[in-house]
Amino acid sequence: MTGRFFDLTKGKASRRTVLKGLAAGAGLAAAPGFVRYAQAQNSAPIKIGFQAHRTGIGAAYGRWYERTTAAAVKAINAAGGINGRPIEVVIEDDGTDAARGAEVVAKLANQHKVDIVYGTLFSNVVVGSAPAAGELKIPYYVVSEGYHVASGKLNRYVFQPGITDVRAQVSSVAPWIAANAGKKITMIFPDYAFGYDHRDYLPPALQKAGAEVVAKIAIPPTESSFTKYFPQIPSETDAIYHVMVGPAVLTFVKELGDFYGSSGPKLFGFIDSLEAVDINSPGLEYLDGSHFWEGSPRYAQADDTEAQKAYRTAVGIDDNGAAVADAKDVSTAAHMFGCWETLYVIKKAMEDAGYKGPEDRAKLVEATEALTEFAEGPEHPQGKKLFNGKIHQCFGHQNISKLEGGKLKVVHKTAIEDGMYEPEADYTKQSL
C-alpha cells in the first residue's frame, strides 16, 4: 500500500495508515545541517511501526508526534536513510488505550512485519504494550516520560532514549520551586501512572530542597470539570504544582483561575497542562507571571541554536510554537522533539549494529544499550543527553519558563546532573 506524506505547510496528516519516507533524490531539500544524499535507494526499506495516539485523550500529542516523525524521516532519508536504506513508517492508531496498544504492537509485528515499534507517549499505553513487545522480541522505542522504563518494571526490549523521565524532570526543577515558588506545595496531578510518578518523586525532591508537599490531589484524566477538587487545596498552600493532560486541560486552567481570581497561591505548572493550548486564550490572563516546566521551549528563544532553528523549520512551527499555516494549531513542543531525537538514536544504533533485518534485533538491543552520549546538534536539537544503557533511559536538560506578555521565556535551564539518580535496575542482565 502506498501512502501520502504529511504536508507540513498545511499541518495535516494523511489518513492512510502507511507513511513512506522520502527516498533521496526525490527533489525535496533536507533541513539545514543535513547532507543531501543523491544515490538512488534500491534496498528494501526499514519499516518502523508507529504506535500513534490518533484518537483518545492523547490525540493532540499524536497529531504532532506524526508531524515530527514525518519531518525526521524526510531528513534522514534525504541524507541516505539508515545503512543506505530508506525508512518506511507504518502507522496504527492505539486510541490512547492500554489494551488496544498491546494489540497494535502485535499487529505491527505480525501483520505489517515491521523491524521495530516506536512512538508511544501515554504511560498507560506503554505499560500495557511493553509485555507484547517483550514476548514478540521486537525493540520498542517509546517517546513517553514516565519512570516506568527506567524503573526496570518493563523488559529488555523497551527503550526511552530520546526524552527524559518524570523522576529526572521533577528532581531537576524541585530546588528552583523551593527557592522561588514557596515552601508549602499542593500537587494536582492525573490519576494514573504518569501522575503517580510526579506524586512519588516530587515530594522527596522538595523535602531535600527545604520545602514540603501539604496536599496531593489526584484527578481522573477523563474528568471534564475540576471546580469540585479545588476546595481540597489547603489554605496554607504557598504554591500549586499542577500537571494535567488530555482534551480538558483548557477547562482545568480556566476553572483554577475562576476559583482563585488574582489572589491565589503561586503557580508552577508542567506545560502538559497547556500543551496544544493557546496561552492567550480568554480566561487565562491570570497565568501571567507564573512558571512552567518545558522539555523543549514552545516559543523561539533569543539564544536558540542553529540546530534548534532548523528543527523548528523542519517540523513546521512558527516562533510562537504553532503550525506555520494555522496560528490556532498549537504544537506539543515540549514533548514532540523526542520523536525527532529517538529516530536518530534508532538510526545510530542500527548503524552500529549493522542491522539488516529482524534477525538482527538482538544486536540492535545490545547496540542501543552500548550508547552513552548524544551531542547537541541537528540530530539532538533539544540539547545534549547522557544515556544509561542499563536502565534504557536518557538524561538531559530541563527548562523553566515564565509566562510574560503572552509568551513563555526560559528563565532557568537545569544541568543534566540535576536530574540524575541512582539506577534501580539493569536490563542488560535479562536474556534476549
- Residue 124: which residues within 8 A CB-CB, separation 6 or more? 98, 192, 193, 194
Residue closest to 15 by CA, chosen among 93, 81, 78 = 93
What average pLDDT does this structure show over 327-339?
98
Residue 42: its pLDDT value, please? 52
Q: Residue 400: which H helix or E strand, with range?
A: strand 399-404
Residue closest to 427 by CA, chosen among 370, 353, 357 = 370
**CA 48 → CA 19, 85, 343, 380, distances in Å?**
10, 12, 10, 20
What average pLDDT does this structure show over 172-182?
97
37-85 confidence digits (pLDDT tens): 333 345 899 999 999 999 999 999 999 999 999 999 999 999 999 999 9
pLDDT of residue 29 exceeding 70: no
Residue closest to 165 by CA, chosen among 140, 146, 142, 152 = 146
126-167 confidence digits (pLDDT tens): 999 999 999 999 999 999 999 999 999 999 999 999 999 999
pLDDT of residue 33 exceeding 50: no
pLDDT of residue 124 exceeding 90: yes
What average pLDDT does this structure show over 294-309?
98
216-236 confidence digits (pLDDT tens): 999 998 899 999 999 999 999
Under 8 Å between Cβ of 256 and 228 = no
257-286 confidence digits (pLDDT tens): 999 987 899 999 999 999 999 999 999 999
What average pLDDT does this structure show over 204-218?
98
* Phi, psi of 318, rounded to the nearest 5 degrees: -90, -170
Question: Cell 513512506 identifies what position?
Answer: 20
**Euclidean distance between CA atoms 95 and 372, whole angstroms:** 34
Residue 300: its pLDDT value, please? 98
The structure's pTM equals: 0.89
Residue 221: its pLDDT value, please? 84
11-20, 37-46, 51-60, 94-103 — which is least confidently predicted? Answer: 11-20
pLDDT of residue 32 exceeding 50: no
Confidence at 25, pLDDT banded by 50, 70, 90:
very low
379-400 confidence digits (pLDDT tens): 999 999 999 999 999 999 999 9
Strand partners, 394: 387
Count Cβ neighbours within 10 Å for each residue of 296-317 and write b for 16 or more, e otherwise: bbbbebeebeebbbbbbebbbb
What average pLDDT does this structure show over 300-319?
98
First-last CA distance in the chain: 33
Average pLDDT, the chain: 91
